[in-house]
Structure 1
Amino acid sequence: MYQPLAYRLRPKTLEDIVGQEHLVGPGKIIRRMVEANLLSSMILYGPPGTGKTSIASAIAGSTSFAFRMLNAATDTKKDLQIVAEEAKMSGTVILLLDEVHRLDKTKQDFLLPHLENGRIILIGATTENPYISINPAIRSRTQIFEVHPLTPEAIEMALDRALTAKDGFKDEDVILEQSAKRELAFVTNGDLRSALNALELAVRSTPKNEDGTILITKEIIQECTQQKGFSHDKNGDAHYDVISAFQKSIRGSDADAALHYLARLIEAGDLISICRRLLVIGYEDIGLANPAAASRTLDAVLAAERLGLPEARIPLSVAVLDLCLSPKSNSAYQSLDRALQDVKNGKATTIPNHLKDSHYKGAAALGRGLTYQYPHEFSDGWVAQQYLPDPLAHTRYYEPKFTGRYEQALAKRYEELHQKKSSSTK
């Protein structure tokens, strides 16, 4: 039966793993577990092809435990029961459960007691962020480890191994040009499985030269990958990382970084996320420092939505640079958050009588609105009177920032009013 190169080269020990040194390197957590023979259930999460299955296979190969593989989405509760029965007979089974975020409640409830007593050591694999996608009951019984995309250097090392390994191309005279190796290492974006699959396709589809060698050039690799060096899953965890980096780059006034992440989101075709995020940024990060920028951003977003991609990139680029290079202030929403916290903490106490509704018969008898002073009747449109409930009478939620001229003017007015209010109560 045909087995893909990536499957044939799957690591048998921790020493065979390429990359993920932060987990399996000397003195690191998973290596310590294996060397101490104190394995515990874990969840490995990260992009495809980064070594989750390889780590599970290597852990099993470094121990005497049986190793079984199931898929949470496609395998049934009965399949789990078979593994549990085997664990009862043999003592312990390491179970690699792929797509562990797809584990439904029935399978989860069956699995939990076996994780508790240690008969099954679960190694869950997922591309989704487990803190978002995995049930807390499973999370609480596992350690969570993130695996990272492999560096180009690590992928090159794995490609060299593939050319010399017995289960690879040791018995075939394959020459992988350096430029081809570099292309393969970069274009697969840290996905070793994709790199090995592309190498195998290149070798199997390239005829031998007259001297019996198989020469793999950069052009052949480009044909066998058909990639532009960019991949993006709109529903994946990495997508939210790009959005996060996009907003933080604008907040940090790094125009070049913001344009880079905008380009990635545009290449992914995710106009909805871009527009929504820009509107949030306009009010969250720019705010009172430059309110006009938020209005211009709305205009750019409306234009982008009407134009659609690819032309939408034009108004979007204007908005990104405008927001990036604008002064920043989060004072408005931070002020509201402080007020919300007081409300949540039970400080939403009785409204002063003079502010209560007085537009009904009998309100006067209840003392509603009797002492209210109408600001428009005073020369500068202001009169000293208490608006906050008594326990909060002297609370200040708004803490101005002085990063833009508009908010500087607001801050000056805010302080003037507070001083007048303080003077009137002395």
Structure 2
Amino acid sequence: MNQPLAYRMRPTTIHDVIGQEHLVGDGKIIRRMVDAKHLQSMILYGPPGVGKTSIARAIAGSTGTAFRMLNAVMNNKKDMEIVVAEAKMSRKLILILDEVHRLDKAKQDYLLPFLENGLITLIGATTSNPYHAINSAIRSRCQIFELHSLDPEDIEIGLKRAITVEEERLENGKIIVEDTALSHFSIACNGDIRSAYNALELAMLSTPINEQAEIIITLPIAEECLQKKSFSHDKDGDSHYDVLSAFQKSIRGSDVDASLHYLARLIEAGDLTSIARRLLVIAYEDIGLANLQAGPRALAAIEVAERIGFPEARIPLANIVIELCLSPKSNSAYKAINEALSDIRKGSLGDIPSHIRDAHYRGAEELGRGIGYLYPHDYPNGWVKQQYLPDRLKSKHYYEPKETNKTEQLFASIYKKLKNN
């Protein structure tokens, strides 16, 4: 009975799983597998504490299939050989493999034939994106299911179940968790129900029983026991790149509130380098020619942030994020260079016209280099019509102006005038 509360609260059947309705709800894919008692190897991917191994154990419990739990790092090939030997005796076995993304080649090569012939059903659990972190040989033999962070309402359901279980252990005692404390456990754990269980258990064990045989858990106790008052994430993990992506797309979409939300998450991760890089990319990719000051202003804000450091760095960063959000947007330069690069990479090059080739060497004239070149500064307005692109691309247009903002309207009129002369 010394097992942690989080361990004791693990579901034994698929019906007891909290959350993840998109996978285990009525008519959903994992529930259908369980109901049909026809399992396929799978990888459960999601953040910590959302029930990956719990679902794996519940699948085994609901289908009555024997299972063994191993860790891809901690357990060696010999441990896997023992599992396979047991599977051969029982003819069917589920291998729940935690940290499956850390499976080395020797262990992988050993397991593959048994996955192929169905002797072992693998249920791998990982916090890393399987499309980035798991070898294709394993990935191709498994269904991949993504689990999501649990909603506070789901976590509250689990906590209330846990309180009932713990009250039974107290016999005549009572556990009272104030609504504000329960809400704090449910929200501040950031979707990680294991953290919520651990904090609740610590609160119950560290709070004295009063004369009425009650354990009363207040909000201050909850805050002490769950030392997570703000969001944080691993700046080297997959979720970090999702936050960066959401950050750029929110600014591109001119949503100030969402942009500040994702900026705050990146600030909490302490990754000023990624924030700076992404802001500069946004200034030139998404704002571009619509606001020529966006790039220099973003750089200035970043330099101030780097000089003053956190926590004050949040202020210039917030300023520039709001400015970029509300600036007019244009990706015409971004699209133009991408199209030009696409031509180059497809081999659409062509010879550089002779009249604009380098003529600053002896013998260049004999090769026809520079002959016929018209020097624009010799002409009114500093422009004269002549061919610059190779013959095979001379009619190519890469730049398509966006005329939805005043700055680029001016560029568009000049561009069209020059092209039409």
1:40/1:143 contact within 8 Å kept: yes
- Tell me the distance in 2 between the aligned counterparts of 1:198 and 1:243: 30
> How far apart, CA to CA, are the structure 2 residues paired with 1:387 and 1:175?
80
- 1:107 aligned residue: 107
CA distance in 2, matches of 1:168, 1:320: 53
Measure, in 2, the Cα distance between the counterparts of 1:111 and 1:351. Answer: 57
Query: Could you give the per-residue CA deviations for residues 145-184 of structure 1, whole angstroms, max 9, x where no partner exists?
Result: 1111111111111112112238975745222222221121
Range with greater deviation from structure 2 (167-176 or 202-211): 167-176
Aligned to 1:371: 372
Q: What count of residue pairs does the alignment treat as equivalent? A: 420
Say yes or no: does 1:228 pair with 2:202.
Answer: no
Contact 1:45–1:147 (Cα < 8 Å) also in 2:
yes
Which one-letter code corresponds to 2:372 in the other structure? T
For residue 88 of structure 1, report the CA deviation from its aligned partner.
Answer: 2.3
Match of 1:54 in 2: 54
Correspondence list, 1:24-43, <5 A = 24-43=24-43
CA distance in 2, matches of 1:249, 1:334: 19
Q: C-alpha root-mean-square deviation of aligned residues, in Å?
A: 1.8
> 1:337 aligns to what?
338
Superposed, 1:354-369 pairs within 5 Å as 354-369=355-370
In the alignment, structure 1 residue 147 sits paired with structure 2 residue 128: no
Q: Which amino acid aligns with 1:223?
A: E
Q: Judge conservation of contact 1:72–1:99 (CA < 8 Å) in 2.
A: yes
Q: Report which stretch shifted further, 132-141 or 407-416.
A: 132-141
1:44: how far off? 1.0
Following the alignment from structure 1 to structure 2, what is the Cα–Cα distance between the partners of residues 110 and 362?
A: 68
Aligned to 1:116: 116
Q: Which residue does the alignment assign to 1:162?
A: 162
Comparing 360-369 with 58-67, greater Cα deviation is found at 360-369
Quick one: distance in 1 between partners of 2:189 and 2:222?
11
**% identity of equivalent residues:** 64
Cα distance per residue 1:310-360 (max 9 Å; x no partner)? 121222122112211111111101111111111122212222233333334
Residues 78-137 of structure 1: per-residue CA shift (max 9 Å, x gap): 222222222222222211111111122222222222222222211111111112222222
Which has the larger displacement, 399-408 or 41-50?
399-408
Q: Tell me what 1:280 maps to.
A: 281
Deviation sequence 1:57-95 (CA, Å, 0-9, x none): 001111232211111122212222222222222222211
Could you list the per-position Cα deviations for residues 12-53 of structure 1 after superposition, in whole angstroms to 9, with x for gaps in the alignment? 110010000000000000011111222111111111110101
- Per-residue CA deviation, residues 222-258 of structure 1 (Å, 9 max, x unaligned), is 2211221423221222222222221111111122222
Tell me the amino acid that sits aligned with residue 285 of structure 1. Answer: D
Asked if the contact 1:186/1:229 (under 8 Å) is kept, the reply is: no
Q: Is the 8 A contact 1:5 1:168 kept in 2?
A: no
CA distance in structure 2 between the partners assigned to 1:36 and 1:27 by the alignment:
11
Task: Please say if residues 8 and 168 of structure 1, whose CA atoms lie closer than 8 Å, have aligned partners that are also in contact.
Answer: no
| Residues 188 and 229, structure 1, Cα contact 8 Å, conserved in 2 | no
Contact 1:202–1:220 (8 Å) recurs in 2 = yes
Give the stretch that moved more between structures: 132-141 or 170-179: 170-179
In structure 1, the residue matched to 2:93 is 93
Alignment partner, residue 423 of structure 1:
none
**Secondary structure at 1:94 match in 2:** strand
Q: Under a length normalisation based on structure 1, what TM-score does the superposition of the two structures give? A: 0.94
Unaligned stretches of 5+ residues in structure 2: none
So what's the TM-score if we normalise by structure 2? Answer: 0.95
The 1:364/1:169 distance shift into structure 2, 3 A limit, reads farther
Q: Distance in 2 between matches of 1:186 and 1:383?
A: 67
In 2, Cα distance between equivalents of 1:164 and 1:416: 78
Partner amino acid for 1:140?
A: S
* 2:203 counterpart residue number: 202
Q: Which residue of 1 aligns with 2:271?
A: 270
Matched residue, 2:212: 211
Which moved further from structure 2: 312-321 or 28-37?
312-321
The offset of 1:199, in angstroms, is 1.2
Checking the alignment, whether the CA contact within 8 Å between 1:9 and 1:167 is kept in structure 2 is no
Write the distance in 2 (CA, Å) between the matches of 1:371 and 1:8: 86
Distance 1:228 1:6 in 2: 21
290-299 or 167-176, which moves further after superposition?
167-176
In the alignment, residue 339 of structure 1 is paired with which amino acid? Answer: A
Give the conservation status (yes or no) of the 8 Å contact 2:167–2:175: no
Question: Any idea what the Cα deviations from partners look like across 1:398-419, whole Å, max 9, x if unmatched?
Answer: 0111233222211111000011
AA partner of residue 348 (structure 1): L
Shift of the 89–166 alpha-carbon distance from structure 1 to 2, 3 Å rule, reads farther
Cα distance in 1 for residues equivalent to 2:333 and 2:170 = 65
Q: 1:354 and 1:362, CA in 2 relative to 1: closer, same or farther beyond 3 A?
A: same
